[in-house]
Structure 1
Amino acid sequence: MGTGLSHFRGFVAESFRDEGRAEGRREDILRILAVRGVEVPDEVRQRITGCKDLDVLDVWFGRAITASTADAVLGED
């Protein structure tokens, strides 16, 4: 007999997976910028580390590969 909690557990598990993906993507963006020698001001670092939207983080990740400034990653160049 089921408890009816499988959907809840699935939702919670998916939320944790999404947060893990976002955390990894934030770390990836900052790592790429560090390896490329791009200076990341505190305010930009805070915006990146505070972002939870995977779609936005994916855009920033793509920009981080070629951006010459941290502002360019955020689209504020």
Structure 2
Amino acid sequence: MGQIHYFWRHPLAEQVRAEGREEGRIEGWRETLLSFLEWRRIPVPDTARARIEACTDLDQLKAWAERAVHVAEAGELFAEE
């Protein structure tokens, strides 16, 4: 009788789960960043929203979220770049 291989224990399955978790964290930070701006009643132009939604760098999203607490307008998030 052969050995049973479970897909969810396969290295590929682990990689897929890890990638999914990372994508979830990125999406969560995008939503948090946009929420900060909304809560502060700061309008988010389409260009700024598109840039935030296109970002896949978790560290960059966190940096923008930190700035979102202090900026007066959405464009200031990107000022230091």
Answer yes or no: same fold by TM over 0.5: yes
Q: Name the TM-score, length of structure 1 as normaliser.
A: 0.87
Residue identity (%):
37
Structure 2 match to 1:26: 30
Structure 1 match to 2:72: 68
Q: Rg bigger for which structure? A: 2
Q: Name the TM-score, length of structure 2 as normaliser.
A: 0.83
- Structure 2 gap segments, 5+ residues each: none
**1:29 counterpart letter in structure 2:** L
Which of structure 1's runs of 4+ aligned residues deviate more than 3 A? 1-5
C-alpha separation in 2, matches of 1:17 and 1:75: 30
- Structure 1 gap segments, 5+ residues each: none
How far the C-alpha of 1:3 sits from its partner, in A, is 4.3
Q: Cα RMSD (Å) of the superposition?
A: 1.9
Structure 2 match to 1:39: 43
C-alpha separation in 1, matches of 2:15 and 2:60: 22
